[in-house]
A and B are shown apart, each in its own frame.
Chain A
Amino acid sequence: MSTDTALVAGRQLSLAFGNRQILQDVDITLMAGQIVTLIGPNGAGKTSLVRLVLGLEQPTGGSLRRRPGLRIGYMPQKLHLDPSLPLTVSRFLRLAHNDRAAIAANLALTGVDHLADSSMHHLSGGELQRVLLARALLRDPSLLVLDEPVQGVDVAGQARLYQLIADIRDQRQCGVLMVSHDLHLVMAATDTVICLNQHVCCHGHPDNVSEHPAYLELFGHSATAGIAVYTHHHDHDHDMHGDVTDCDANHCQHKDHHHG
């Protein structure tokens, strides 16, 4: 893979705060039209790596190159909005880009156009994620950086949100960098997985990574069963509660993962 055309190319990236090493010798390449997912246990440095890519933090070692003029759409993990700040969804979006037509189009794309005049304080978890995604898309970015995009969303909604992200990638041919805790749903919607635990444990296509010894050591064998099921996720349907229905014997174990 040539790094000349990469949106972002990081080589041997290290990050340390004082004596505490957060990241060590991490390589990461983000290409247009490709979805890269960062997975790893808590404290593995996923958010730190995202902050390096975004330019919010400077690496203490290694090199990071961004394509000149690269425009990044960022979807933060959380939004701490003080309740004293009156803010509607459309006003929130105008902070990023004051273009009402683009705002309407992106709210429609993420399926929350009916919320344009709602207060930001009254959104459900899933609605907020979709509004944040609309803001990330607003300035027509060539790279989308999504920090735990399905947080606070129910399981059925998570699958739809990942599908939406994949569709956006197909339409706009932007690069996508996602952070995820989740092992099952995200695997089917990604081109490359980087398994991070301070350094890169393993990376590659989800099918290969899920069989890699380093991955199994981090997440255990039970995780692979979930992935195997999820690459065939059209075999079954979800009922109202997000439980799997009409599954045969092989797939029923999957139900446990939802509640595990």
Chain B
Amino acid sequence: MADFLIYALLAGCSVAMLAGPLGCFAVWRRMAYFGDTLAHSALTGVALGLILSVNVSLAIVLFSLLLALALVALQHNSSLASDTLLGILSHAMLAAGLVLVALFGRGRVDLYAYLFGDLLAVTPTDLYTIAAVAAVIIPGLIALWRPLLSLTVHEELAQVEGVAVVRTKLLLMLMMALLVAVAMKVVGVMLVTALLIIPAAASRRLARSPEQMAIGASLIGVTAVLGGVASSFVWDTPAGPSAVLCAALAFGLSLLRPMPA
């Protein structure tokens, strides 16, 4: 098998695996719009990385984090509903990213690759970045699993029972920002949320516990990426969007199954 295909499969499957449990939290906590905002801001991160000559992945993570913090602050001090706030930030960031890339990145940035992913162009360096992100997210999720679930069920009850609510929520945002930064390579800015939400939603009817749903989401995500890469190889379709279509197909199939008791 060609190297680029092995890199593509390794990168796509790792990201889909990490997206499974995080996507479940995005679904349970209704953070789909938040994921969109993080993803859209990533393009501004890319532009800033180019302008300041720092590693692009690092720039994306730092900028997404900054945005997440700004969002938390705004939510506490605003009369606007949080989906309105997210809508403003999300699209302003996307617009800013497009403008900045046009101004400073002309000739250096393949905009299409950032918007829709370029899985077949994954390099060994990208794989190291993904491995580093996995080395943070996997132990983080294991350590925070119970407090995260607890505050998802009832935030105040969790706090009375001793969960450090604010810290745990910030760490969840950090993990999401890290994932978004590497998922850009796989599905691009426009489809990151799809990779989070769709496998998790498809897994819902197959699961009787939160853990089953998370593992199911990872498996469905990995299958979708394999399908996307195969379709890209055979029919020369874009790999990222093809993977998202596969996940959507899995979701459609899952609807045939009745809701578990």
Q: Which residues of A contact B149 (CB under 8 A)?
A: 95
| A89-110, CB < 8 A from B | 91-92, 95-96, 98
Known: A85-B152, A86-B210, A86-B212. A96 touches B204 (CB 8 A): no
Q: Find the B residue at minimum CB distance from A72.
A: B160
The answer to whether A85 touches B153, judged by C-beta atoms less than 8 angstroms apart, is yes
The answer to whether B160 touches A84, judged by C-beta atoms less than 8 angstroms apart, is no
Query: Is A88 interfacial (CB-CB < 8 Å)?
Result: yes
Query: Is B139 interfacial (CB-CB < 8 Å)?
Result: no
Q: Which residues of A contact B158 (CB under 8 A)?
A: 95
Query: Is B258 interfacial (CB-CB < 8 Å)?
Result: no
Query: Is B159 interfacial (CB-CB < 8 Å)?
Result: yes
Q: Which residues of A contact B28 (CB under 8 A)?
A: 82, 84-85
The answer to whether A88 touches B208, judged by C-beta atoms less than 8 angstroms apart, is yes
Known: A82-B28, A82-B30, A84-B27. A74 touches B210 (CB 8 A): no
The answer to whether B159 touches A95, judged by C-beta atoms less than 8 angstroms apart, is no
Within the assembled complex, what's the spacing in Å between the Cα atoms of A168 and B207? 36
Known: A54-B156, A79-B154, A86-B213. A95 touches B146 (CB 8 A): yes
Query: Is A126 interfacial (CB-CB < 8 Å)?
Result: no
B29 shortest CB reach to chain A, Å: 8
Query: Is B150 interfacial (CB-CB < 8 Å)?
Result: yes
The answer to whether B210 touches A54, judged by C-beta atoms less than 8 angstroms apart, is no
Query: Is A1 interfacial (CB-CB < 8 Å)?
Result: no
**Selected contact of A74 from candidates B27, B157, B261, CB within 8 Å:** B157
**Scoring B residues 8 to 45 as 1 if CB is less than 8 Å from chain A, else 0, what string do you get?**
00000000000000000001111000000000000000
Q: Find the A residue at minimum CB distance from B161.
A: A96
Within the assembled complex, what's the spacing in Å between the Cα atoms of A98 and B160? 16
Within the assembled complex, what's the spacing in Å between the Cα atoms of A54 and B160? 7
| B91-147, CB < 8 A from A | 146
**Selected contact of B209 from candidates A82, A86, A139, A145, CB within 8 Å:** A86
The answer to whether A91 touches B156, judged by C-beta atoms less than 8 angstroms apart, is no
| B36-85, CB < 8 A from A | none
The answer to whether B154 touches A76, judged by C-beta atoms less than 8 angstroms apart, is yes
| A221-236, CB < 8 A from B | none
Query: Is A56 interfacial (CB-CB < 8 Å)?
Result: yes
The answer to whether A56 touches B161, judged by C-beta atoms less than 8 angstroms apart, is no
Q: Find the B residue at minimum CB distance from A85.
A: B28
The answer to whether A86 touches B208, judged by C-beta atoms less than 8 angstroms apart, is yes
**Selected contact of B210 from candidates A76, A91, A96, A135, CB within 8 Å:** A91
- A residues in contact (CB < 8 Å) with B: 51, 54-56, 72, 74, 76, 79-82, 84-88, 91-92, 95-96, 98, 119, 122, 135, 139, 145
Given contacts A74-B156, A92-B153, A122-B261, 10 further A-B contacts (CB under 8 A): A51-B156, A79-B153, A79-B154, A81-B153, A82-B30, A86-B204, A87-B153, A88-B208, A119-B260, A145-B160
Offer 22 A-B interface pairs, CB within 8 angstroms, sorted by A. Answer: A54-B156, A55-B159, A56-B159, A74-B156, A74-B157, A80-B154, A82-B29, A82-B30, A85-B28, A85-B152, A86-B204, A86-B210, A86-B260, A87-B210, A88-B209, A91-B209, A92-B153, A95-B158, A98-B146, A119-B261, A122-B261, A135-B157
